[in-house]
């Protein structure tokens, strides 16, 4: 008896629920009137709206995830395009440099600039060649566009180059068309220009004229491009022009260069060093 009472207590709630469900189904089946149908339609419409709302939330989440995926793919593709463009530009520079090297009659060593310190007045470049590659101090450094600088310090496998963009650098140069000599240096004021001095005001200097090395420096061979005349000023109180040049070989764009294996004559170099020490 106690067992039956315990079982009834456990099943009573479920039996009541089942009976009520049966009565509800019977009532719904027997009273399928317009009011009930309207209520049922309204309930279905409300349910559809709720389902649509949740479906919209799901689609929004999917769209956000897809957008993030596409954004990541776009970044990857942009990086790859930039890398390919840089590789193509580097390939073109190397081809141009190799073609230029074939025109040189001087022994040379192709090198790569591995470091640039071009944020001060006395700037320096580091190249990946040194004594082991026959590099010596005062050897000229050029690329297919023009002069880059000269070697100033040599290690076993690396060397330092003083670029034309250094206040310590100067090179005798010639206005090609006029065959008029002057001195080209960097005044330390602007990174994209060089200064040419000691050209008399009587010379018809014009914008666009090519300036090349004169060959009198004892370092650079004659005829290597230095820059293009950008502007000419007749400064008051001076007998020479102030001529600004656009460098033929901007340091910011120099990557691969040639070191010409032609050091100055040792005797001339010693005399120059002695003269500088006596000043």
pLDDT per position as a tens digit, 173-226: 999 999 999 999 999 988 889 999 999 999 999 999 999 999 788 889 889 999
Is there a single domain that holds both residue 250 and residue 113?
yes
Eight-state DSSP code of residue 48: H
CA distance 112 to 160: 12
Residue 135 clears pLDDT 90, i.e. is over it: yes
Looking at the chain, how many residues does it have? 279
Looking at the domain assignment, is residue 272 inside a domain? no
Looking at the domain assignment, is residue 13 inside a domain? no
Which region among 37-46, 104-113, 221-230, 253-262 has the lowest average model confidence (pLDDT)? 37-46
pTM of the model: 0.63
Q: Specify whether the CB–CB gap between 190 and 220 falls below 8 A.
A: no
pLDDT of residue 150: 95
Nearest alpha-carbon partner for 245 in 203, 201, 192: 192
Looking at the domain assignment, is residue 25 inside a domain? no
Is there a single domain that holds both residue 157 and residue 183?
yes
Give residue-wise pLDDT tens across range 58-76: 676 777 777 777 777 777 6
Pairing of strands 210-213, 194-197: unpaired
Q: Is the dihedral of CA 182, 223, 231, 141 positive or negative?
A: negative
Looking at the domain assignment, is residue 34 inside a domain? no
- 111 has which bridge partners? 257
Q: Which of 103, 118, 146 is at the close of a domain?
A: 103
């Amino acid at each position: 008896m106690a067992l039956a009472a315990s079982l009834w207590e456990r099943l009573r709630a479920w039996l009541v629920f089942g009976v009520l469900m049966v009565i509800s189904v019977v009532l719904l089946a027997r009273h399928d009137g317009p009011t009930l149908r309207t209520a049922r339609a309204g309930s279905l419409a409300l349910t559809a709206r709720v389902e649509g709302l949740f479906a919209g939330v799901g689609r929004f989440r999917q769209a956000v995830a897809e957008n993030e995926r596409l954004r990541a793919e776009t970044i990857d593709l942009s990086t790859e395009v930039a890398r390919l463009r840089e590789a193509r530009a580097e390939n073109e520079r190397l081809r141009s440099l190799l073609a230029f090297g074939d025109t040189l009659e001087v022994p040379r060593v192709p090198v790569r600039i591995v470091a640039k310190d071009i944020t001060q007045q006395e700037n320096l470049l580091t190249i990946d060649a040194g004594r082991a590659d026959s590099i010596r101090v005062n050897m000229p450094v050029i690329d297919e566009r023009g002069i880059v600088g000269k070697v100033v310090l040599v290690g076993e496998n690396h060397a330092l180059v003083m670029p034309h963009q250094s206040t310590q650098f100067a090179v005798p140069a010639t206005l090609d068309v006029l065959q008029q000599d002057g001195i080209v240096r960097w005044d330390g004021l602007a990174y994209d220009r060089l200064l040419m001095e000691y050209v008399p005001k009587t010379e018809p200097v014009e914008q666009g004229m090519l300036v090349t090395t004169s060959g009198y420096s004892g370092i650079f061979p004659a005829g290597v491009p230095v820059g293009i005349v950008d502007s000419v000023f007749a400064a008051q109180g001076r007998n020479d022009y102030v001529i600004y040049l656009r460098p033929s070989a901007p340091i910011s764009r120099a990557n691969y260069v040639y070191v010409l294996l032609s050091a100055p004559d040792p005797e001339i170099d010693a005399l120059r060093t002695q003269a500088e020490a006596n000043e």
